[in-house]
Amino acid sequence: MSQISKGYRTPLGRVRALGSAHNGTDEAWRLRLTSLAMVPLTIAFVILVLTLLHMDYNHARAMLAAPFPAIIVLLFVLTGIYHMQIGMKSVIVDYLQGHAREWALIGNLFFAAAMGLACVYAVLRIGFV
């Protein structure tokens, strides 16, 4: 494309489907994919929680120690945390500037990682203790 034809394009035409960082569509697809994955995981998680409501502590703990319920809980929580991290990153990039943006992105990443580790630890502790 010649230099002259570049000058006639609108700003929207220059960044269509790419965004200023050229990764907007990638994040949008990951956000949609995680939200799609959350639909069956949420249904399974709600059914699991409703089943656990009528159990005493020992039976509930024994049920959560089984592989299938533990995997459902881990997938639900980790997918939800990843979805939250992508969404918050998008909001931070859109509304903050400068060092505040950098610190907020770092905080968002560390918060998501800490929540993920805490949830994995809790599920593994229930399953193996």
Q: Tokens 């502790």 identify what position?
A: 125
- Domain span at 45: 22-128
Task: Evaluate whether residue 91 is within a structural domain.
Answer: yes
Task: Evaluate whether residue 41 is within a structural domain.
Answer: yes
pTM equals 0.79
Half-sphere exposure of 23 (CA within 13 A, CB side): 8
CA 27 to chain CA centroid, Å, is 11
What is d(CA 52, CA 62) in angstroms, rounded to the nearest whole number?
10
Q: What share of the chain is helix, strand, coil (3-state, %, to 5)?
A: 85, 0, 15
The CATH number given to whatever domain includes residue 76 is 1.20.1300.10
pLDDT in tens, 44-97: 999 999 999 999 989 999 999 999 999 999 999 999 999 999 999 999 999 999
pLDDT in tens, 1-30: 555 555 666 666 666 655 555 666 888 899
Q: Which tokens is 120 given?
A: 């994995």
Q: Give the number of domains in the chain.
A: 1
Task: Evaluate whether residue 9 is within a structural domain.
Answer: no
